[in-house]
Amino acid sequence: MNTKTLKTLEFDKILKRLSDFAVMEITKEEIINIKPSTNYKTVLKMQKETSEAVKVSVKCGSVPVVQANDVTMSLKRCDIGGILTNAELLNIARILNSARRIKGHIKDVETEFLCEHIDALYEDKRLETSITSAIIDDETIADDASTNLLDIRRKIKNANNKVKDVLQKIITGSAHQKHLQEAVITLRGDRYVIPVKAEHKGAIPGVVHDTSASGATIFVEPMSVVELNNEIRKLVGSEKEEIEKILANLSSLVSDVSKLIKMSFDTLVYIDTIFAKAKYALETNAFSPKINDKGIINLISARHPLLDAKKVVATDIYLGKNFDTLVITGPNTGGKTVTLKTIGLLTLMAQSGLFITANEGSEISVFENVFADIGDEQSIEQSLSTFSAHMVNIVDIISKVDSSSLCLFDELGAGTDPTEGAALAISILEYVKNMGAKCAATTHYSELKIYALSTNRVENASCEFNVETLAPTYRLLIGIPGKSNAFAISKRLGLSDFIIENAKKHIGDESVKLEDVLSELEKNRIVSEKERNKAVGYKKEAESIKKELARKQEKLSEKTDKIIEKARLEAKKILEDAKKESEEALEKIKKAQKLKDMREANKQLEHTRAKLNEINKQNSEKITEKVLEKGKNDKAPKSVKLGESVEVVSVGQNGSVVTLPDKSGDLLVKVGVMKLKTNLSDLRIIKEESIKQPKQRSNGLGQNARYMNISSELDLRGENIEDSIYILEKFLDDALLSSLTQVRIVHGKGTGALRKGIHQYLKKQPRVKSFNLAAYGEGDSGVTVVELK
- 62 CB-near residues (< 8 Å, 6+ apart): 275, 278, 279
Predicted confidence band of residue 509 (pLDDT cuts 50, 70, 90):
low
> What pLDDT is attached to residue 467?
60
Question: Any idea which of 317-326, 607-616, 624-633, 687-696 has the lowest mean pLDDT?
Answer: 687-696
Same CATH fold assignment for domains 290-506 and 692-789 = no
> What pLDDT is attached to residue 416?
81
Predicted confidence band of residue 200 (pLDDT cuts 50, 70, 90):
confident
State percent of the chain over pLDDT 70: 81
Predicted confidence band of residue 491 (pLDDT cuts 50, 70, 90):
confident
> What pLDDT is attached to residue 717?
84
Highest mean pLDDT pick, 173-187, 220-234, 533-547: 220-234
> What pLDDT is attached to residue 383?
42
Distance CA 159, CA 143 (A): 17
H helix or E strand, kind and range, residue 421: helix 418-434
> What pLDDT is attached to residue 734?
82
Question: Any idea which of 158-172, 249-263, 684-698, 740-754 has the lowest mean pLDDT?
Answer: 684-698
Neighbour-count burial for 512-547, b at 16+ CB within 10 Å, e otherwise: eebbeebeebbeeeeeeeeeeeeeeeeeeeeeeeee
Higher pLDDT, 580 or 62: 62
Q: Give yes or no for residue 481 having a pLDDT over 90.
A: no
State percent of the chain over pLDDT 90: 40
> What pLDDT is attached to residue 190?
83
Distance CA 217, CA 207 (A): 14
Q: Give yes or no for residue 567 having a pLDDT over 50.
A: yes
What does the domain layout of the chain look like in residue ranges? Answer: 7-124+257-284, 146-235, 290-506, 692-789
Predicted confidence band of residue 408 (pLDDT cuts 50, 70, 90):
very high
Q: Give yes or no for residue 377 having a pLDDT over 50.
A: no
CATH class label, 692-789: alpha beta
Highest mean pLDDT pick, 17-31, 375-389, 595-609: 17-31
Give whole-number Cα distances, 145 to 21, 78, 83, 132, 248, in Å: 38, 20, 16, 10, 12
CATH fold of 290-506, please? Rossmann fold (3.40.50)
Q: Give yes or no for residue 534 having a pLDDT over 90.
A: no
Q: Give yes or no for residue 597 having a pLDDT over 80.
A: no
> What pLDDT is attached to residue 2?
80
Give whole-number Cα distances, 127 to 37, 73, 137, 775, in Å: 38, 19, 17, 64
In this prediction the pTM is 0.62
- 612 CB-near residues (< 8 Å, 6+ apart): 578, 581, 582, 673
Q: Give yes or no for residue 376 having a pLDDT over 60.
A: no
CATH class label, 146-235: mainly alpha
Helices (H), 692-752: 703-708, 721-737
> What pLDDT is attached to residue 578?
62
Distance CA 676, CA 629 (A): 14
Architecture of domain 7-124+257-284: Orthogonal Bundle (1.10)
The residue among 265, 287, 372, 364 whose CA lies nearest residue 318 is 364
> What pLDDT is attached to residue 698?
38
| DSSP state, residue 176 | G
Distance CA 263, CA 247 (A): 23
Q: Can you say whether the dihedral through the CA atoms of 70, 72, 78, 83 is positive or negative?
A: negative
> What pLDDT is attached to residue 516?
56
Distance CA 483, CA 331 (A): 7
pLDDT for 645-658, tens place per residue? 888 887 777 888 88
Mean pLDDT of the chain: 83
Q: Give yes or no for residue 85 having a pLDDT over 80.
A: yes
